Structure 1
């Protein structure tokens, strides 16, 4: 509980078009069909303006962890939930100031969940918000400290067929591509390390899976316009192995709201209780 309120220093950062394009490829854009998704993978195609995927915010806000998390064993971490919010479209290049804070710690018995809120702002004071990223991390063996368990309940899936389904294949080397965007955790590249942690082989980054879902929502419900997607959240419930197929099922709700879930090739949910907002 003493971790709550732990804040990082304010860090200035800049990002460039190449990073936005590399990220897009890391979440499957253009793979297998180079002429698709050119708005995310090229900056020099005639008649097409480069755009950043909204989920690129997760790359910009990674790192700069609060001090209370810096000495923890990251080998025991699993991504539990991710939320992004953007008041306006994210530019493919720019600069800003990043701050990160622990906002919640839950005791789940033998395990724990730590939630951080990262804010990227256009000014050092943090008033001109570019976007916010809320990340919940499942810490194996981190519970038992007597803290609150939490009372939030996931939104139930609509009791009807989805309004659309979008299927994407992942490549066997997908995690090796995605890690070049800054998440070099050995769980996604080192076979021996992955086996020691109970996995058959290196798994795909949860945030790469999240980016595939972002692309599916934009393609399936936003007419391919990334600028329309301004908020998105989802709970990770099963690891994905590179090379698997990912199917995103989407339900249209009132007021531009969406419910979604993502299934792997075997039909098991890998992201559930997903919500998004279109403008």
Structure 2
């Protein structure tokens, strides 16, 4: 069997020590669209994402990508008990929780465990959890993610649970749009995700897409940035966590529409395609930003 839950669940995926600099933070923010609007190059608020110096802040989603930020090979899938092909895989969901504002440079060690394998019939869902700590042992952030593996379900395993996040039955407190640039995925892949699905047209067709698609984590960062700017005054330190399910694809050149609702100590949000033939198609669902 390509996936053996008895081997996979609970497997220690090891630890990885990594470092980052202000330049990495700047590149990440540019990769998720910061500074893209007219006037952002002279706006103090916008430059908090894109100019190194004392005012630079770090969006919490940076913690998801920084462990592999300097990787130049496609992401490995050598997970214990999981014999799967990269072309079968799409990102399922992602969350990050931060203990406090992330530093603009530093060193950390991420320890990761494979926690669950779900059988969805025609697909499998594989979950990982990781904790990043400073050299002194202080917890900096936690991540939890799932990948959706097409064609690898059906062994009669646990189907898993769902955690749907309902949006309020009222007008959103924020509606914002972001125009994904034609080169967005090519820029974002420099943040450590060289999966050819996002750059190689032939590979994308093999995987069942008409063209390369935007990285799910790029959409994730775009949505978090838009919510932070639109509802939190651009204050990254106000964000304690962000969770979302990847509900659909984005092609470079499309527009992402972000809707957000303030609900007590959290923000509930959704993201869809705006305009064109795929208007209204889902991008992110079950979005929850904790404050």
Structure 1: state its 5+ residue gaps: none
Paired residue secondary structure (1:8): strand
- Residue aligning to 2:270: 261
| 1:157 lines up with 2:167 in the alignment | yes
* Corresponding position of 2:60: 54
Do the aligned residues in 1 keep the contact of 2:77 with 2:85 (CA within 8 Å)? no
Give 3-state SS (helix, strand or coil) of 2:224's partner. helix
The DSSP-based 3-state class of the residue aligned with 1:9 is strand
Counterpart CA distance in 1 for 2:16 and 2:171 is 45
Root-mean-square deviation (Å): 1.8
Aligned to 1:228: 238
- Residues in 1 aligned to 2:67 and 2:145: alpha-carbon distance in whole angstroms: 10
TM-score by length of 2: 0.89
Q: 1:193 aligns with which of 198, 203, 212?
A: 203
Tell me by how many angstroms 1:65 deviates. 7.1
SS of 1:43's equivalent in the other structure is coil
Partner in structure 2 of residue 68 of structure 1: 80
8 Å contact 1:61–1:119 — kept in the other structure? no
Distance 2:186 2:14 in 1: 30
Decide whether the 8 Å contact of 2:87 with 2:206 is kept in 1. Answer: no
- Aligned residue for 2:109, secondary structure, equals strand
1:40 aligns with 2:49: yes
User: Could you tell me which of 11, 18, 21 is aligned with 1:16?
Assistant: 21
Q: Secondary structure at the match of 2:252?
A: coil
8 Å Cα contact 1:61/1:133 also seen in 2? no
Q: Which runs of structure 2 are paired with 1:166-177 in the superposition (5 Å)?
A: 166-177=176-187
Secondary structure class of the residue paired with 2:91: strand
Q: How far does residue 31 in structure 1 lie from its aligned partner after superposition?
A: 2.1
1:22: how far off?
A: 0.5
**Residue 101 of structure 2 corresponds to which residue in structure 1?**
89
Distance 2:92 2:153 in 1: 15
The alignment partner of 1:68 has SS state of coil
The reply on whether 1:275 has 2:288 as its aligned counterpart is yes
Query: Could you say which residue in structure 1 is the equivalent of 2:31?
Result: 26
2:142 aligns with one of 126, 132, 137: 132
Q: What SS does the aligned partner of 2:172 have?
A: coil
* Greater Cα shift, 165-174 or 205-214: 165-174
Paired position in structure 2 for 1:212: 222
In structure 1, C-alpha distance between the alignment counterparts of 2:80 and 2:167, rounded to whole Å = 36
CA distance in 2, matches of 1:57, 1:66: 22
SS at match of 1:50: coil
- Tell me if structure 1 keeps the 8 A contact 2:97–2:240: yes
Query: Would you say the 8 A contact 2:124–2:150 is kept in 1?
Result: yes
Return the offset for 1:123.
3.7
TM-score by length of 1: 0.92
Counterpart of 2:72 in structure 1 is none
Deviation track 1:209-240 (CA, whole Å, cap 9, x = no partner) reads 00001101111111111111110101111100
CA contact (8 A) 1:175 1:205 kept: yes
| SS across alignment from 2:130 | strand
